[in-house]
Chains A and B, each alone.
Chain A
């Protein structure tokens, strides 16, 4: 008997294009969502810098993407599965003619994929919050897109070795987005070092309402990220949509469960974090698991990530906003569980729990491991070179004063009228 999940609607070019336009706009919304999410988590003296790092990454990465990033990721293979041809689509060359046989314009696909790169780079900012030079960050965002994101995206999305030769599954970016950003965040945090006062001064989130708003916007945008990756307004998109919804829900519940048991309180910060952990893990697996599988993915990610965010205190690295604990660990969970929970009622193969053996699990582990090592090594090198040449980290004195004031000449909140005033004057004379 045909599984009801497989009953598909007839294809529609107009429908596919409309959905992909909407999905791309949803993914764009994840950038301000991430800015709010991260912005609320930092101290009030660096919230503007945090938001600027995400908005700045959006601007730089999108430009780099159109110039050369897309071609490197999705151009014809030039290195035996390692990289795309940078000249083929340089500046979106040759992509503007409509293809009557495609169900969506290729420029739309390219823009959609560019926004994936934006989010991936934006995520890294969380690991080095409070202590980064904005100008160097923008430089890093552009270089990292070319040197790290584009190759990994080629491997898994662009016809490279990981999807092609290895046969690993990654529906919407467990490797290219989540493990990639998490490993890069860890490398950047280790090379730049801990914040002044880490482990001694209170560094609690300054605005949890902002964190909740950001988590909500991220969740909403994530439907574009995952269901848009079906690249069609079809049955797969619908299954992915449901899975994305469910994993967020169970991620939230699992994180709160861990907190209630461990700390005695279920917190709003835990709820927001649990949603994101569930969404991170369902990103690679949303096109491979059933709704029951998606709920299990969310539970696993919510619980494991809730425990993993404590690693930075054990190992004394200062991943400011837990990019490692949520995105690296969540991405690993989501990528590896495909090998366990993939179901042939949704995708082409069965995982271990559905009688498919350990074959797929092995492929997933290789994909996850190679992404982790490549991203960590390349990022560590890039951050080290930038720190030694143009300088990546702000002076300790400026870090204590707050990067908002020192770098952007602004402060986010004007709460003390008597002490925050000053006579306005115009110009710099």
Chain B
């Protein structure tokens, strides 16, 4: 099993969700996060005083999937969240040792 983690632009979240549901992903964890990459943040101006805001709002998606689906899911997210402009985000995959469904006690593939 793999954990696919994606950090994407907030306005792309609905498109990504629809694409993942169409693929058959049944659940995911989504959080509003902030961070920055190479482009850093943005500048805000209050009564002429400039504030460099380092952190940009992003959506973070976490999905635990079968090994076989991981590459497809990364592909879907990469394609759907793409705008071509700076700050589109990142997707990464990490190994997952075990999963337990809290309600039933099912483990691993049966728990997904």
CB atoms of B48 and A309 under 8 A apart: yes
A384 touches B (CB below 8 Å): no
Cβ distance A189 to chain B, nearest Cβ, rounded Å: 16
Most chain A CB neighbours (cut-off 10 Å) among B46, B47, B49, B50: B47
Cβ distance A70 to chain B, nearest Cβ, rounded Å: 36
Interface code B29-55, partner A: CB below 8 Å = 1, 0 otherwise? 000000000000000111111110100
CB atoms of A205 and B46 under 8 A apart: yes
Least CB separation from A309: chain B residue: B47
Least CB separation from B52: chain A residue: A202
Binding site secondary structure of chain B: strand
Choice from A202, A263, A322 contacting B45 with Cβ under 8 Å: A263
CB atoms of A310 and B51 under 8 A apart: no
CB atoms of B49 and A269 under 8 A apart: no
A267 to B48, CA, bound (A): 10
Q: For A202, list chain B residues within 8 Å (CB).
A: 51, 53
Q: For A205, list chain B residues within 8 Å (CB).
A: 46
Most chain A CB neighbours (cut-off 10 Å) among B45, B48, B49, B53: B48
CB atoms of A263 and B48 under 8 A apart: yes
Give how many A residues have a beta carbon under 8 Å from the other chain's beta carbons. 18
CB atoms of A267 and B49 under 8 A apart: no
Least CB separation from B48: chain A residue: A310
Interface code A196-226, partner B: CB below 8 Å = 1, 0 otherwise? 0000001011000000000000000000000
A124 touches B (CB below 8 Å): no
Total contacts A-B at CB 8 Å = 31
Interface code A225-253, partner B: CB below 8 Å = 1, 0 otherwise? 00000000000000000000000000000
Cβ distance A224 to chain B, nearest Cβ, rounded Å: 27
A273 touches B (CB below 8 Å): yes
Give how many B residues have a beta carbon under 8 Å from the other chain's beta carbons. 9
Cβ distance B57 to chain A, nearest Cβ, rounded Å: 15
CB atoms of B45 and A259 under 8 A apart: yes
A408 touches B (CB below 8 Å): no
Q: Which residues, 254 to 271 on A, are CB-close (under 8 Å) to B?
A: 259, 262-265, 267, 269-270
Choice from B45, B49, B51, B53 contacting A313 with Cβ under 8 Å: B49
Cβ distance A317 to chain B, nearest Cβ, rounded Å: 14
Q: For A280, list chain B residues within 8 Å (CB).
A: none
Least CB separation from A267: chain B residue: B45
A186 touches B (CB below 8 Å): no
Q: For B51, list chain A residues within 8 Å (CB).
A: 202, 204
A310 to B47, CA, bound (A): 8
Cβ distance B32 to chain A, nearest Cβ, rounded Å: 12
A306 touches B (CB below 8 Å): yes
Most chain B CB neighbours (cut-off 10 Å) among A202, A310, A325: A202
Choice from A264, A269, A306 contacting B46 with Cβ under 8 Å: A269
CB atoms of B44 and A306 under 8 A apart: no
Q: For A263, list chain B residues within 8 Å (CB).
A: 45, 48, 50
CB atoms of A265 and B48 under 8 A apart: no
Q: For A270, list chain B residues within 8 Å (CB).
A: 47
Cβ distance A10 to chain B, nearest Cβ, rounded Å: 47
Q: Which residues, 296 to 333 on A, are CB-close (under 8 Å) to B?
A: 306, 309-310, 313, 322, 325
Q: For B53, list chain A residues within 8 Å (CB).
A: 202
A270 to B45, CA, bound (A): 10
Least CB separation from A306: chain B residue: B48
Given contacts A202-B51, A204-B51, contact A265 B46 (CB under 8 A): no
A244 to B81, CA, bound (A): 51
A47 to B50, CA, bound (A): 22
Q: For A322, list chain B residues within 8 Å (CB).
A: 47
CB atoms of A265 and B49 under 8 A apart: no
Nearest 9 CB-CB pairs, A to B? A263-B45, A309-B47, A204-B46, A310-B48, A202-B51, A204-B51, A269-B46, A265-B45, A269-B47
30 CB contacts below 8 A, A to B, read: A202-B51, A202-B53, A204-B44, A204-B46, A204-B51, A205-B46, A259-B45, A259-B48, A262-B48, A263-B45, A263-B48, A263-B50, A264-B45, A265-B45, A267-B45, A267-B46, A269-B46, A269-B47, A270-B47, A273-B47, A306-B47, A306-B48, A309-B47, A309-B48, A310-B47, A310-B48, A310-B49, A313-B49, A322-B47, A325-B47
Task: Apart from A263-B48, A306-B48, A309-B48, list 13 A-B contacts with CB within 8 A.
Answer: A204-B44, A204-B46, A204-B51, A263-B45, A263-B50, A267-B46, A269-B46, A269-B47, A270-B47, A273-B47, A306-B47, A310-B48, A310-B49
